[in-house]
Structure 1
Amino acid sequence: MAITVASCWFNALASTSTSRYTVSSQRLFSASQIPATRLVIPKAVSQSQNPRKRTPKEHTHKSSPEKEANSQKISRRSRDERKYSDADNRSGIKKTEKPQSTAFKSFGTQRKSAKGFMGNLTDQQAETAKIQDAAFLNAVVKVNLTILNQTPQFIALILHLITLFLGKSKGSLQVQEGIAFMIGDGKLLTNAHCVEHNTQVKVKRRGDDTKYVAKVLAKGMECDIALLSVENEKFWKGAEPLQFGHLPRLQDAVTVVGYPLGGDTISVTKGVVSRIEVTSYAHGSAELLGIQIDAAINPGNSGGPAFNDQGECIGVAFQVYRSDDVENIGYVIPTTVVSHFLDDYERNGKYTGFPSLGILLQKLENPALRACLKVPSNEGVLVRRVEPTSGASNVLKEGDVIVSFDGVDVGSEGTVPFRSTERIAFRYLISQKFTGDTAEVGIIRAGDFMKVKTAMNPRVHLVPYHIEGGQPSYLIVAGLVFTPLSEPLIDEECEDSIGLKLLTKARYSMARFKGEQIVILSQVLANEVNIGYEDMSNEQVLKFNGTRIKNIHHLAHLIDSCKEKYLIFEFEDNYLAVLEREASSAASSCILKDYGIPSERSSDLLEPYVDPIGIGIGENQVMDDNDLGVGDTPPITNSEFGSDGLQWA
């Protein structure tokens, strides 16, 4: 998916193909200002388009205004994310939502010219000629990727996923294109969404007709950055890597380079920096510093560099903002985020992620609220929830007021000073830390000021936004197909199929320990051994033979070590499924053969089971919904302060 971030935005704006995410407009602007706003990741430019068809049920669900209104009560993504999409349309809009002509509207340069931003044609031609001859353009390379034709849609149906991954659809491949650029030391930089599901990556230099095989060294899903390497020395002959520049200022000129819409020659668009702030990253479901520009970004720009007037790279194009009321709003990953990614890779030999405090914060603008908490001045944010898996869980408590972070004062609106005359969201300071670092937090607790130190670690998601390794875990027991609940699965299944209760848990529950998963029965492969259970699907399994399930590996371990006569599965809503152990074992091989499945479990479940560290819950301890945090836990999102004044940091 080399072009997911750039192409998702581009195709969401320039294509009617199926998109991965939908984004509402409630974060950047109020609903009254932009009633129909979308953030899209331009969709990858494919040489063989074969969009996945939706079922009539899905179309009906999406087109019904009543159901759409109800679905917003439990959003599939944070409200900020719904505004953005990858440049390649991975998080784009459903093709039923907007006609193609309207989609292209947001990326046109004609409107921009009409507003006086483009200048006259003669000046454009002269300036383009200068840019065309610029040496730094030679560092931009075209990326060709061979990927599975069904990514990531096949994740929704575990059986389909199994057959696709294990060779049933080896012919279902397509070639997509993206952008990368040289950064020295034999390395290339691109978007993570461009290479997320690739089976082969090739790169081609400007003016060359030879493609070279590239290796993916690291992928940062949160920051949507991937690091590539090319071992063939011929590729680097005469190459001059790009130089990174400083974070630009407002109104600074910016030039975006790429191969939009699948073109064979390099394309250049120019604009200015219109905003710099903490931004929702559509692909990574994270909030990091972003540069907003008015230069056109289209499918095929994903992963391409953005330059200042000095020819220095000031960031990576990765997503766009879709709306009926605005146009030409694109986003660039700034060099500060890129440097963090590269430093992380150098430190650890891999990408470890951006750390989090794992706390839910509330603004303290109200004087009465500050007085009640004994906060003497207009400062600080209130801690309303602390995640059990965060490093701060041992030092911060509900009711604490954070007034400083590493010596930087935190305002009552949750902002901190940024450069000379600007302020930025408090979580910007958090994103500057690395995994394993320690932060000093100044707090007011019951009127007393104190400083505490907390470890910084990546956030643990109960329902992951991306599947590690690209292939989800699965376990088949007598035709019952189990898998962990994940965002890719939720995105592909309609909400009616997932069920409101399971969706609520996915949105409102916290992981109590690292490694915890919501394990569901995805579907049942009909056989006489499982008569009566054929219609079960998307049901959460809570216990096996009386033991609470921690994750899918734990379930596999319990089944493998079971010596009882019966296999007893307890599901949500007190539903029970019982199988005879010996009959189930005997029928398993026949079921796999009948359905053409090579293995009863994914390869990761063949490894010895290791009990999660710090679980703190007994094997047979009974837990109800309150133990899981359902119903009394605030929504788990990475959204900015909304109308409720809450923010995850």
Structure 2
Amino acid sequence: MQIMCQKRGRGRSRAEMNNANVDGDKGDDARSQSTTYKSLQLKRPDKKNLSHDLKNGQDMDVDDLQDGSFLNAVVKVYCTHSEHDYSLPWQKQRQYTSTGSAFMIGGRKLLTNAHCVEHHTQVKVKRRGDDTKFVATVLAKAIECDIALLSVESEDFWKGTKPLRFGCLPCLQDAVTVVGYPLGGDTISVTKGVVSRIEVTSYVHGSADLLGIQIDAAINPGNSGGPAFNEKGECIGVAFQVFRSGDAENIGYVIPTTVVSHFLSDYDKNGKYTGFPCLGVLLQKLENPALRACLNVTSNEGVLIRAVEPTSPAKDVLRAGDVIVSFDGVPVANEGTVPFRFSERIAFGFLISEKFTGDLAKLGIIRGGREMNVVTTLKPRVHLVPYHIEDVQPSYLIVAGLVFTPLSEPLIDSECEDSIGLRLLTKARYSLPQFEGEQIVILSQILACEINIGYENMSNHQLLKCNGVKIKNIRHFAHLID
């Protein structure tokens, strides 16, 4: 089984990588990209925060979607990508091209998927029925939620255009229509289906867990970044990935407008994307009665804190062994869920995703059988091994032919997990950073020369110390060498 997303995600083992991919139509020069998962938190802003022309629309017959003028707001994206070579960090890989979809949201901005413009060197867009491609600028990229914001300076591009209206979170079995420019043709494509599920979903490209809409409408490579409409002609989300399995068909995923609203509000407020925050703890379900009794938890509520991340503000108020029973007054069940709409339940992380970086969270906890309330600040997670390295050249240092570089998921993908070694992989995937800026520095390879004769075959070993001093990061190592 696969979750398709033809750009890179980061996270777990090679076997898990083979089960995940993000939709997007690549050119022939594109090399295959592995994708993976990693947990984060998610979001559901209030409807009043859905700016950018969020208005109530009139009911529209789905059969008339082909004639809807709002389809003219959907454009085709042409992107040229140039990714860094992480095995040879002083150079880049060969360029490749891909196509995707985007749509107008007001303020002369376009919305698409982040994986459609990943490692971009040039982005162009073309309107429906037009023969001219216009150069676009990437204003912001949100890797976690796989959203990117584009702008086009040309006045000709915006003549006679009308932005899409955003709708609210749909209900189960609501009709949905996906519009975009998938492979198989150059004109706009329309597919229909229904909403089959709404829950916290693994976002392959961003290696995050956020609210997602599952639909049964066909989503194919090239549909990425295209809008999904309800029967009123309102945009209810952004198509971004599909699930492939021999036992399942027509399972596609849409980024809901609640997640889109969080991204846009973050960008409008800060002038850039600051990310989804996290609580900074590792949690465990508390369904076992014996475990609850051991922790002096008499109710059926709460989840156990297994560990607190050293770089998180939560380290000042939370401890391993605490039981979280409420978040901002919302009770947390022992299987890690909280109340959702219509008597439904959803993963606890959903409440955290509604917050923004720097927001405060009030937690009800049980510590040693005693109930208490604490307040902590929410910040984005600090990763010991980054999942994405965007728009900057990978750091490296060459000393006597020895090539040192920080360990990253792109490097692991490039080198293949077998060559990295189980011990280093385990540290990369499960270790927590002890301070901000900490890196795992490795000896990537040795460039053969007279001074390193006899060591030419060494590669992918962690550098622990230099002259007896423990290495903090690549910059610290360079300072010690100087």
| 1:316 aligned residue (219, 238, 261) | 238
Query: Matches of residues 212-251 of structure 1 in structure 2 within 5 Å?
Result: 212-251=134-173
Gap change, CA 1:445 and 1:22, over 3 Å in 2: closer
Per-residue CA distance 1:237-273 (angstroms, 9 max, x = gap): 1110011100000000111111111521000011000
Return the alpha-carbon distance in structure 1 between the equivalents of residues 9 and 204 of structure 2: 10
Instruction: Indicate yes or no: 2:419 matched with 1:493.
Output: no
Of residues 20, 23, 31 in structure 2, which corresponds to 1:42?
23
Residue ranges of structure 1 left out of the alignment (5+ in a row):
1-6, 13-18, 28-35, 55-61, 63-75, 82-126, 561-649
Q: 2: CA distance between counterparts of 1:314 and 1:524?
A: 52
Change (3 A) 1:379 1:557: same
Residue of structure 2 in register with 1:544 after alignment: 466
Deviation at 1:367, TM superposition (A): 2.1
Distance 1:10 1:445 in 2: 43
Contact 1:38 1:323 in 2 (8 A): no
The one-character-per-residue Cα deviations of 1:475-494 (angstroms, maximum 9, x if unpaired) are 11121111110011112222
Aligned to 2:249, the other structure's residue is in SS state: coil
Structure 2 residue aligned with 1:535, among 454, 457, 460? Answer: 457
| Post-superposition offset of 1:558 | 1.6
Q: Secondary structure at the match of 2:358?
A: coil
Q: 1:129 to 1:446 in 2, by over 3 A?
A: closer
SS of 1:9's equivalent?
Answer: strand
Instruction: Write the letter of the residue equivalent to 1:521.
Output: L
Q: Residue 496 of structure 1: CA displacement? A: 2.1
Note if contact 2:440-2:473 (Cα within 8 Å) is conserved in structure 1. Answer: yes
2:91 pairs, out of 158, 163, 182, with 163
Classify 1:23/1:290 alpha carbon distance in 2 versus 1 (closer, same or farther; 3 Å).
farther
* Structure-1 residue corresponding to 2:56: none
| Inter-CA distance 23–533: structure 2 relative to 1 (3 Å threshold) | closer
Length, aligned pairs only: 461
- Of 140, 144, 147, 2:78 maps to 144
Whether 1:361 and 2:361 are equivalent positions in the alignment is no
| Aligned counterparts, 1:196-345, within 5 A | 196-261=118-183, 263-345=185-267
Query: 1:479 touches 1:526 (CA, 8 Å); kept in 2?
Result: yes
- Three-state SS of the structure 1 residue aligned to 2:264 is helix
Separation in 2, partners of 1:9, 1:496 = 24
TM-fit CA distance, 1:469: 2.4
Structure-1 separation of matches of 2:9 and 2:362:
39
Name the aligned partner's letter for residue 71 of structure 2.
L
Distance 1:405 1:331 in 2: 28
Please give the alpha-carbon distance, in whole angstroms, between the structure 1 residues aligned to 2:407 and 2:5: 29
Structure 1 match to 2:305 = 383
Alpha-carbon distance in structure 1 between the residues aligned to 2:359 and 2:38 = 30
Cα separation, 2, equivalents of 1:514 and 1:11: 31
What TM-score do the two structures reach when normalised by structure 1?
A: 0.68
Partner of 2:52: none
Alignment-derived partner of residue 4 in structure 2: 9
Q: CA deviation at 1:53?
A: 8.6
Q: 1:140 to 1:261 in 2, by over 3 A?
A: same
State the identity %. Answer: 70
- Residue 405 of structure 2 corresponds to residue 507 of structure 1: no
Rounded Cα–Cα distance in structure 2 between residues aligned with 1:541 and 1:442? 42
CA contact (8 A) 2:36 2:205 kept: no
Q: Which residue type is aligned with residue 546 of structure 1? A: G
Provide the residue aligned with 1:124 in structure 2. none
CA drift at 1:77? 4.6
C-alpha spacing 1:293/1:460, structure 2 compared with 1 (3 Å): same
SS where residue 391 of structure 2 aligns? helix
Residues 335 and 79 of structure 1: CA distance in aligned 2, closer, same or farther (over 3 Å): closer
1:50 Cα deviation from its structure 2 partner: 2.5
- C-alpha displacement of 1:345: 0.7
**SS at structure 1 position matched to 2:424:** helix
**Residue deviations 1:346-391 (CA, integer Å, cap 9, x gap):** 1111111100111111111122222222222110111111110111
Q: In 2, Cα distance between the equivalents of 1:371 and 1:297?
A: 48
C-alpha contact (below 8 Å) 2:200/2:209 kept by paired residues: yes
Rounded to whole Å, the distance in 2 between the matches of 1:373 and 1:414 is 17
State whether structure 2 residue 112 is matched by structure 1 residue 133. no
- CA distance in 1 between partners of 2:393 and 2:63 (Å): 46
User: In 2, are the aligned partners of 1:253 and 1:308 still within 8 Å (CA)?
Assistant: yes
Question: By how many angstroms is 1:557 displaced?
Answer: 1.7
User: Aligned partner of 1:183: which letter?
Assistant: I
Question: What letter matches 2:4 in structure 1?
Answer: W
Tell me, in whole angstroms, the C-alpha distance in 1 between the residues paired with 2:279 and 2:63.
49
Amino acid at match of 1:329: I
Q: CA deviation at 1:435?
A: 0.5
Judged with a 3 Å threshold, the aligned counterparts in structure 2 of structure 1 residues 184 and 297 are, in CA distance, closer, same or farther, namely same
1:576-613: per-residue Cα shift (whole Å, max 9, x none)? xxxxxxxxxxxxxxxxxxxxxxxxxxxxxxxxxxxxxx
Q: Whose helix fraction is larger, Structure 1's or Structure 2's?
A: 1
How large is the RMSD of aligned CA atoms in angstroms?
Answer: 2.6
Match for residue 638 of structure 1? none
In 2 relative to 1, CA 10–262 (structure 1 residues): closer, same or farther, beyond 3 Å? farther
Q: What secondary structure sits across from 1:206 in the alignment?
A: coil
Q: In structure 2, do the counterparts of structure 1 residues 10 and 465 end up closer, same or farther at CA, with 3 Å as the change threshold?
A: closer
User: Could you say which structure has the larger radius of gyration?
Assistant: 1
Normalized per residue, the structure richer in strand is 2
Distance in 1 between residues matched to 2:3 and 2:136, nearest whole Å = 22
The gaps in structure 2 that reach 5 residues or longer are 41-60
Local SS of the residue matching 1:375: coil
Distance, in Å, in 2 between the alignment partners of 1:11 and 1:213 is 23
CA deviations 1:83-133 (Å, max 9, x no partner) are xxxxxxxxxxxxxxxxxxxxxxxxxxxxxxxxxxxxxxxxxxxx8862111
Contact kept, 8 Å, 1:9 with 1:298, in 2: the verdict is: no
User: Which aligned pairs between 1:27-176 and structure 2 lie closer than 5 A?
Assistant: 38-46=19-27, 49-52=28-31, 77-78=36-37, 130-148=64-82, 151=83, 154-155=85-86, 157-158=87-88, 161-164=89-92, 172-176=94-98
CA distance in 2, matches of 1:556, 1:79: 31
The reply to whether residue 370 of structure 1 matches residue 271 of structure 2 is no
The residue aligned with 1:453 is 375
Q: Closer, same or farther in 2 for the Cα pair 1:22/1:288, shift >3 Å?
A: closer
**Cα shift readout 1:274-323 (whole Å, capped 9, x = no counterpart):** 00000101011110000000011100001111110101000001111111
Name the CA distance, whole Å, in 1 between partners of 2:3 and 2:29. 15
**Residue number among 456, 461, 469 corresponding to 2:391 in the alignment:** 469
Change (3 A) 1:427 1:53: closer
User: Which residue of 472, 476, 482 maps to 1:554?
Assistant: 476
Q: Are the equivalent residues in 1 in contact too, given 2:224–2:241 (CA < 8 A)?
A: yes
**d(CA) in 2 for partners of 1:252 and 1:280?**
22
CA distance 1:495–1:555, change in 2 (3 Å): same
TM-score (norm 2): 0.90
